[in-house]
Amino acid sequence: MSALLGIALLAVFAPQAPTPRLAALQPAGGCRGAEVEVALRGERLGDVVALQFDAPGIEVVALQPAADRCTARLRLAADCALGRHRVRARSGVGLSNVVTFHVGALPTLREERQGEAPMSLPLGVTVDGALRDGDVDRFTVDVPQGARVVVEVEAMRLGQAPIDLRLCVRGPDGQIVAQADDTPLGGRDPWLAFDAVAAGPYALELAGAVPGDGRDGVYRLHLGRMPRPLGASPAGGQPGETIDVALRDGRADLAAAPRARVQLPNDGSEWLWWTPELADGAAPSAIPLRVGGPPNRALAVDDKGRAFFDLPGSVDGCIGDDGAPVRFRVRAKKGEEIEFRVVARALRSALDPVLLVRGADERVLASNDDAAGMDSVARYAPAADMELIVEVRDLLRRGSPAHFFRLEAGPRERPAKLSLQVARLVDPVVAVPQGGVATAVVLRANLDDKQELALAGLPAGVVATIGPRLPGQPVAVRFDAAPDAPLAGAQAQVGVRAEGGAFDARPWQQTQPLLLGRNDTPLVQTTQRTLPVAVALPAPFALDVVAPAVPLVRGAGLALPIRLGLPQRSDLRVRVRAVWLPPGVTAGQAQFDVGQHEVLLPIEASTGATLGTFPIALVASARVGNVVVEQALPWIDVQVVEPWLALARAEARGAVGGEVAATLPVTRARPQHGPAPVAVTNLPRGVACRPATLAADAEALQLVFDIAPDAAVGRHGALTVEVRLPDGAGRPVLHRASFGELKVEAKKKPKGGIAAGGPP
Amino acid sequence: MTATRTTATTTTTTTTIWAAACALAFAAGARAQQPVSFRNDVLPVLTHAGCNAGGCHGAASGKNGFGLSLFAYDPAADHRVLTRELRGRRIDPAEPEQSLLLLKGAGLVPHQGGKRLAPDSDGWRRVRDWIAAGAPNDGDDAPRLVRVVTEPPQAQLVVGNAVSLRVVAHYDRGEPRDVTSLVIWSNSDDGAVAVGQDRAEAKAAGEATLLARYGGFAAPVRIAVLADDRPWTFPGVAAANFVDERIHGKLRAMRTAPAAVCSDEVFVRRVHFDLAGAPPTPDEARAFVADAAPDKRARLVDALLQRPEFADVQAMQWAEVLGVSAERMEPKGASELTAWLRRAFADGRPFDEVVRDLLVAEGSTYDVAPAGFWLAADQPHLHGEHVAQNFLGIRLQCAQCHNHPFENWTMDDYYGFAAFFAQVGRKRAEDGAEWVVWDRRAGDIRNKRTDAVATPRVLGGAASTPAAGVDRRRALADWLVAKENRWFAANVANRAFARLFGRGLVEPVDDVRIGNPPSHPELLDDLAALLVQQRFDVRAIYRALCNSRSYQLARHPGNPPEALFAGNVVRRLSAEQLLDAIGAATGAPTKYPGLPLGAPAAAIAGGRVNVRFLDVFGRPARESACTCDRRDEPTLGQALHLVNGDTVAAKIAARDGRLQRLLQQKTPPEAILDELFLAAYSRLPRDAERAHLLAEVASAKDDKALAAAWHDVFWAMLNSREFLFQH
């Protein structure tokens, strides 16, 4: 028990300085190999000390915070990966939310308004612009005859605003040459390609697609003669594999399509957003490639023209212009469940796939539409070895070279996953105060309990302690920063380490929304494969939490005293809650009212709570302005034990206006160290229990109830007996037991009343 | 009052009535020998007594534990309830007179509904005889009612006179029966005609439609009432086209002279509002009035029909009808569908093609705009109601739960029609605001009456089993837009008529039924025929109507019924017209969100851009297919908006507005007044107006006072009825 003696611990709490909030970097991107001056948009940006990108390639060469604003100069490496880069702002109190910065291959221009005149653009350029509701941004570009020009807009994909744009191109004669709105590839972002029949100025018009929706936003418009593939075939491969792909550029026959080699990652990613780079340039935006799933298989075609592939396997396909379904055949083994998955919309295909699994007699055995977003998944376990026909068609029975798909067939995949447990709309980052502590809770899925959680790449001066690993339970991680830990940030790796095995960070992935739609539905998301951790300034506020000196008994509870240190801010209402508790233990909330110095946090153990000594992780939160800030408290250990005694249930009955005594036999699991005071709770109305004490040697507990004349008549089964048994040091240890049943009866009418002797 | 004096219309039917009466007398004699039919004898008695009315035992939950089908739409269920429920204690074949049914109905035991059947009355005896016969149900060979006929179907009376009424029921076998004593009459105008069980009496000049309801069928009697029968000559006004011929024919019959033709100033304003949704500019008004060409009105009509604003107005009006709303279709879906409608009207697409495209649309609401139409409702039966009301002007809603009480639509018709839409699928796409509509090629709807799968059946047609794998909606579209469909073209024409004349030939335009016949059936037929002949070019209808003398009438000096169209029907400008008119008059147009400055309110997609003024003045929420969604009654809020609100005052005071520009240019007061009058009323001030108003501004001592005086003058003009109303 000595280990459970109260220890005063110090927790820091810094609610007066919320972390910065980033809305965007403007411009939203730049050209690789160039330097770009960006303005940070958001709140609380005056104290930003660094920008923290989660991947190499972008260097911050200057940072100038001023008042509530901040500007930065970024140097984009010549080999910087094209596409989306995640970035957070770091101040002395922690990390901001994530926003994205987009690296392209074309030189970038800022949109410039010149009255009503369109902005003149060269071919091969990216324009960073902004559009307000009702505006039409106009550009003009000289195009030589016969040139094929690609225009692509990134707007909503930038993750800044749910803007929906429409693009229109007019030829030198003023007639519309091409126009685009939503596309399978870009979602709400339009893109188009046109062949210049005549040389001359072509006009580009960019406007909101929904007049009056009141949405403003920024965009990046890419203009040039670069390739714009819709997808690739094969559309994926195994982790770490290098695949040779044909790029789908709109032609039905892939034999003549451009080809490229792609190295697929082996970092646990399920998707690679790959920006094709060919001799004629880089595509304006990335296309998704599937990483994982069954291996690619070649199709074997029999003399009847039927296409077979081996299980497990993945094949590519495309619905022809006639919209006719595409069919494959596989040979399935008895009892082996096969998961068929059509990946189409996830590949940004135009196909809305419907999947049917048929027997050789054409009978439909399984079918699906939309099990995975708009893609389809069906499972079937044959009762005997048999040949199956897998049929893929478009819901609207349409087809085109853009209606491509990848069919995966094999055992059901259950990938191991780790992620941070965060409340809705809370950023998954960790900020550890110098000399303080932070707690994170990691969720596990499809992981062996033998695999131990591990972290690497923490900022200097920060160490992580992994909490108990209990079956099916999330794992708490405590971060402790040394008092002299430098203020810094890092993208830590979180992974697992099997017994004696190597560190494996592949299961870790953290998907978080960049842009929310109605009902907070994510419109644009991003996935991080590292955990942002920062060392923050120590806070002048403190919370003391006292570890309990006595154990927590199953079926009972105890109260943890928490004290707010000085100096205090009198205008804050600080709440304390638990973020990790052992199974079967629950905690309420404690709140400091203004001026209050100490509160009690109640915790309870169920009768089935897991036995043992476990840490309890608490977090304090307070609203500062319109921002809720949180700060972890140091962990304290709590021992969950079996009850030291058991009380037999009683059945007592008494009439109103009287009294009733009850005897509850006692069974002890260990000797009792002296008399224990007893109380009964949950008494019915009008019933009181006289003060009682359970003597150390008593074999039964005697209770006496006084029943008032107006007491609630009936059977009462909710009465609880609370016994505070002294431990070896005389400290009371709460025990709870059910009393049994107390029956309160109405007063009986005297026998022989009016009926016997009254008038007839 | 004793003589039944009718005009030639009823005189010509006398022979028919007499012959029918003889036949009925014979039939009555023959019926005396026949057993009492539950369906044909007993239920009509109960219906006439009101037992199965909605407020009594016909309520969905019945009354006091006794529930009948509403107006006896389900005879089998009624027979079961009467003879089996409560172990048959409602009837007593051993002592029929002591049956609870008769005792309650006669009020001989406590009955909340009171006395409904007089003991020993004809109806009471029929019920008693049926009980005495063992309360049998009708077999399959019992005659089935197929129609009821009123005699006379129409009549013309002079105030104070009356006409006898007869209603005859026809069955699929056997003789017809006189059921006059058992029908339930309804009356569209109690003030014009009083109806008894077997006669109608003219009370005041006007028109009324009496509807006889019997056995789930209904038949009308149209009665025109003249004030007197003194000699009268129709004034010598020439008909400009067939529209006038039909309207003049009715006016001649009703002894009403049409109003005079309106002035050019009134016409130019009226036709601009009706076709382009906004008033003419002062220059347009001035030029039109100055034009001496005799065909200038026709030329103006042609010119306005080609303006893009005509497409805006048409698109807005049909978007309202179709229930295009951002709430149901998401802002982009509503925007795309509205834009698609606008393009269709601007391109002059035949309207039957437009409706066909809507009916068979399949795909994403972003890519295939008309697919958004299928988001206006979310269940097959609601699609059926929507399509019937939108394109046929028929309200089927009542028939969902019981046979239509005022029409011949049955529940079988209702669910048969709904079955066309049972396979319409819809789902949200990846973008949460995008919907995909498609033909599922599977799925059915059950008839609530029979609980059987409903077979697709067009209204008034036979059930037809659709071929598997074929979109049922295509078959429906083929039928709906066919030139043989008497409802579709008539409905499109009637809506156009109502938009120009202030009320439809059938009014409300989406309530076509026997009890609500067209005021000018021949004209409606002619307009429908014109539409078909012109390959559903809606401009042809508008052109014919606008070029008629009847459209160009001034306000009538008397007070004839509006449905005669003897004069212009004055009505308040719609919310969109009014706000645009204020903007046009003041030279300070309203900037609607997402639209360029100067775009009309009619161009607002989805109808729900937040503009408070439009809501206050009755812009519809587009929550139902009913035309009643658009409100035109005056409210205090409207008055306050005009009198105290920012809309009028701020626009008058706008720096770049009309008045400020005129003042800054030091325009002479006479010219300012002319310009303001033309901008607000499309006419020049009359002498008295000129003198009075110029005197008002002449008293101003300085520029500030002068500006204030002109502000007051203009404010008063914009708050005048002449400005606020379409006339």
The pLDDT, as a whole number, for residue B21 is: 44
B367 contacts A164? CB cut-off 8 A: no
What is the value of pTM for the model shown?
0.82
Q: Is the pLDDT of residue A204 over 50?
A: yes
State pLDDT tens for residues A585-637. 999 989 888 778 889 999 999 999 999 999 999 988 887 777 777 788 889 99
User: CA-to-CA distance for B412 and B393, rounded, in angstroms?
Assistant: 19
User: CA-to-CA distance for A68 and A47, rounded, in angstroms?
Assistant: 8
Chain A within 8 Å of B604 (Cβ-Cβ)? Answer: yes
Helix (H, G, I), strand (E, B) or coil at B34: coil
The pLDDT, as a whole number, for residue B548 is: 98
User: CA-to-CA distance for A726 and A735, rounded, in angstroms?
Assistant: 10
C-alpha A646: how far from its chain's center? 44
Judge if the upstream peptide bond of residue B350 is cis by omega within 30 degrees of 0. Answer: no
Residues of chain A neighbouring B595 (CB-CB closer than 8 A): 134, 211-212
The pLDDT, as a whole number, for residue A6 is: 34
A182 contacts B367? CB cut-off 8 A: yes
Going by pLDDT thresholds of 50, 70 and 90, the confidence category of residue A314 is very high
Q: ∠B378-B426-A389 over CA atoms, to 5°?
A: 145
Query: Chain A closest CA to B426's CA: distance in Å?
Result: 11
The pLDDT, as a whole number, for residue A427 is: 87
User: CA-to-CA distance for A605 and A611, rounded, in angstroms?
Assistant: 10
Query: Chain A closest CA to B725's CA: distance in Å?
Result: 29
A211 contacts B436? CB cut-off 8 A: no
The pLDDT, as a whole number, for residue A462 is: 97
Helix (H, G, I), strand (E, B) or coil at B650: helix
Q: A616 phi and psi, to 5 degrees?
A: -120, 130
Q: What are the DSSP calls for A653-720, one per residue?
A: EEETTSEEEEEEEEEESS---S-EEEEEESPPTTEEE--EEE-TT-SEEEEEEEE-TTPPPEEE---E
Q: What is the DSSP letter of A206?
A: E
Going by pLDDT thresholds of 50, 70 and 90, the confidence category of residue A244 is very high
B592 contacts A212? CB cut-off 8 A: yes
Q: Are A642 and A555 in contact (CB under 8 A)?
A: no
B594 contacts A212? CB cut-off 8 A: yes
Chain B, window 317-376: residues with a beta carbon less than 8 angstroms from a chain A beta carbon:
331-332, 335, 362-364, 366-367
* Residue in chain A lying closest to B326 (CA): A213
User: CA-to-CA distance for A66 and B216, rounded, in angstroms?
Assistant: 82
> Mean pLDDT over all residues of chain A?
91
* Residue of B342, B364, B427, B431 best to disrupt the A interface, most CBs of A under 10 A: B431
Cross-strand partners of B149: B168
Average pLDDT over residues A204-218: 83
The pLDDT, as a whole number, for residue B466 is: 75
Single-letter amino acid, residue A496: V
Residues of chain A neighbouring B433 (CB-CB closer than 8 A): 517-518
State pLDDT tens for residues A351-370. 999 999 999 999 999 999 99
Q: B696 vs B668, B705, B706, B708, B709, CA distance in Å?
A: 14, 11, 9, 11, 7
Average pLDDT over residues A423-450: 87
Q: Are A224 and A125 in contact (CB under 8 A)?
A: yes
Going by pLDDT thresholds of 50, 70 and 90, the confidence category of residue A758 is very low
Both tokens of A289, joined, read 């490639």
Weakly modelled stretches of chain B, pLDDT under 50? 1-32
Least confident of A45-59, A62-76, B91-105, B605-619: B605-619
The pLDDT, as a whole number, for residue B33 is: 53
The pLDDT, as a whole number, for residue B330 is: 87
Q: Is the pLDDT of residue A655 over 50?
A: yes
Q: CB neighbours (10 Å) of residue B688?
A: 8
Nearest to B431 among A187, A208, A213 (CB): A187
Which ranges in B517-569 belong to alpha helices (H)? 521-533, 538-546
User: CA-to-CA distance for B322 and B374, rounded, in angstroms?
Assistant: 10
The pLDDT, as a whole number, for residue A543 is: 81
Query: Chain B closest CA to A209's CA: distance in Å?
Result: 7
Q: A86 vs A33, A527, B220, CA distance in Å?
A: 18, 9, 75
The pLDDT, as a whole number, for residue B608 is: 63
Residues of A contacting chain B (CB within 8 angstroms): 133-134, 164, 181-182, 187-188, 208-214, 345, 352, 370, 373-374, 395-396, 517-518, 521, 523
ipTM of the complex: 0.80
Sign of CA dihedral B308, B314, B317, B318: negative
Strands (E), B233-368: 363-364
Q: What are the DSSP calls for A44-57, one per residue?
A: S-TTEEEEEESSSS
Both tokens of A176, joined, read 């519309």
Task: Give the list of residues 6+ apart from residue A301 with CB closer than 8 angstroms, or none.
Answer: A307, A308
A523 contacts B363? CB cut-off 8 A: no
Single-letter amino acid, residue B376: A
Q: A293 vs A238, A680, B121, B425, CA distance in Å?
A: 7, 61, 85, 32
Q: CB neighbours (10 Å) of residue B185?
A: 17
B609 contacts A518? CB cut-off 8 A: no
Inter-axis angle of helices B296-305 and B264-276, nearest 10:
20
Nearest to B605 among A133, A164, A211 (CB): A211
* Residue in chain B lying closest to A520 (CA): B432
The pLDDT, as a whole number, for residue A552 is: 97
Q: Is the pLDDT of residue A7 over 80?
A: no
Helix (H, G, I), strand (E, B) or coil at A576: strand
Q: Is the pLDDT of residue A114 over 70?
A: no
Q: What is the DSSP letter of B389?
A: I
The pLDDT, as a whole number, for residue B673 is: 96
A213 contacts B594? CB cut-off 8 A: yes
Q: A104 vs A30, A110, A133, CA distance in Å?
A: 6, 14, 26
Single-letter amino acid, residue B569: V
- Helix, strand, coil tally for chain B in percent (to 5): 45, 10, 45
Query: Chain A closest CA to B500's CA: distance in Å?
Result: 29
Pairing of strands A574-580, A552-553: unpaired
User: CA-to-CA distance for B232 and B252, rounded, in angstroms?
Assistant: 9
B594 contacts A214? CB cut-off 8 A: yes
The pLDDT, as a whole number, for residue B2 is: 32
Pairing of strands B206-214, B184-187: antiparallel
Residue A595 exposed, middle or buried by CB count within 10 Å (0-12, 13-18, 19+): exposed
Q: B96 vs A645, B76, B124, CA distance in Å?
A: 80, 21, 11
